[in-house]
Structure 1
Amino acid sequence: MQKIVLPKDLHLFGNRVHTFPVGIKESFDALIAMLPEGLERPYYGVSWMEAGVVIYYTMAAEKFSGEAKLYSCETNLNIEKGEYLAVTVRDWMSKTDSIKDVFDGLMKDKRVATGAPCVEWYKSDEEMVCMMKSNA
């Protein structure tokens, strides 16, 4: 496990995957196709539990304030600056079934902030970082 420090809030926008876990790839593909830069910006998967149901969003990093409004996305949210506990998953496309296990391990760590969302940072087609905010 590693620590990652986000020096400033991440402003994200995107859409909920109402059929989670089915439809994640299609939602990311639609988001990437909608944006003029395509893959030339960071993408994230953000999830949390509500009443025993996983709420999952596919999201892109906002390039300028108010950008989310241009694309009529379902929501925008912020990932708070600060320290995150993280696990890097290499060759993540072949390991999508095991991502939940990575987050299960992170959630069991006493340093994770209560109620922190699970954040998947897709750095490339090969590298993805699973992160949860630290309470430290």
Structure 2
Amino acid sequence: MKLEELSATTGATIRQIRFLISEGFVPSPAGGRTYATYGEAHVQAIRRFQRLKGLGFPNAAIRLLLDAREGVPVPVMDGLTLVIAPDLIGRDADLDRMIAQTETRLREAFSGGVTKARKRAAG
């Protein structure tokens, strides 16, 4: 897709996209300046940046989070922080599956052991 299409798809202005590319938040386009083309990796990178900004992270913190590859901490409540892999942010994901698995892990952690369903599955 062309720069204008990328802008329309992500809601980011052309100026913002150029800034994100120049700062390394978004990969350079294929084809150079004259025949620049963008794909799904560019869309995901922009959406990842937008979601992190929406969570209140400044650019410097976003850079550290993406470079560290350790995960993005998202406070849920006092004493509970969800850590999300940076490459998942901004990508379409099976949210229902993630929520179900997270709920299972939380129930295990707070019940002091493996749930009955996991015991049955384990055999």
- TM-score of the pair, normalised by structure 1: 0.25
- TM-score of the pair, normalised by structure 2: 0.27
Structure with bigger strand share is 1
Which has more radius of gyration? Answer: 2
Higher relative contact order by CA 8 Å / sep ≥ 6: 1 or 2? 1
Structure with bigger helix share is 2
